């Protein structure tokens, strides 16, 4: 009696494992099919998003470059208007830096 019960349990376990293998096989086929159907679209979406981010980054770089050029032009105009003050500032900055270097 005990042997018959264990045989029945073994048979049930085998059937469950067989069903599980079948379900896993179906699932793996579904994943492969789904990835082949949706994969190219996802790649295209990722590429479009990357290009959009790159475009925005380039716009930011261009805006930063333009702002930097404007600041340089502004400084050049100030130096042309105030050459003696600019020279005195440069001398003062050089003196301060020399003092820091001589202490080290």
Instruction: Please check the confidence at residue 5 and state whether its pLDDT lies above 70.
Output: no
What is the pLDDT, as a whole number, of residue 4?
67
What is the pLDDT, as a whole number, of residue 19?
86
Q: Which residue has the tokens 């003062």?
A: 92
- The string of DSSP letters for 10-79 reads HHHHHHHHHHHHHHHHHHHHHHHHHHHHHHHHHHHHHHHHHHHHHHHHHHHHHHHHHHHHHHHHHHHHHH
Size (the chain), residues? 104
Q: Kindly state the percentage of the chain with pLDDT values over 90.
A: 43
Query: Regarding predicted confidence, which is higher, 38 or 5?
Result: 38
Prediction pTM value: 0.48
Asked if 86 contacts 79 with a C-beta cutoff of 8 angstroms, the reply is: yes
Name 95's Cβ contacts closer than 8 Å, sequence gap at least 6.
none
What is the pLDDT, as a whole number, of residue 22?
85
What is the pLDDT, as a whole number, of residue 79?
94
Name 78's Cβ contacts closer than 8 Å, sequence gap at least 6.
86
pLDDT digits (tens, 9 = 90+) for 32-83: 777 777 778 877 888 888 889 889 999 999 999 999 999 999 999 999 999 9
Domain boundaries, the chain: 2-103
Q: Which residue has the tokens 């050049």?
A: 76
Mean pLDDT computed over every residue of the chain: 86
Rounded average pLDDT over 14-32? 83
């Amino acid at each position: 009696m005990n042997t018959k019960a264990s045989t029945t349990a073994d048979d049930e376990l085998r059937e469950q494992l067989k069903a599980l293998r079948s379900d896993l096989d179906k699932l793996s086929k579904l994943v492969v099919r789904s990835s082949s159907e949706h994969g190219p679209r996802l790649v295209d979406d990722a590429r479009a998003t990357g290009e959009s981010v790159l475009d925005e980054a380039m716009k930011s770089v261009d805006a930063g470059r333009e702002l930097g050029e404007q600041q340089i032009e502004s400084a050049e105009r100030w130096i042309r208007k105030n050459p003696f003050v600019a020279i005195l500032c440069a001398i003062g900055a050089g003196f301060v830096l020399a003092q820091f270097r001589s202490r080290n």
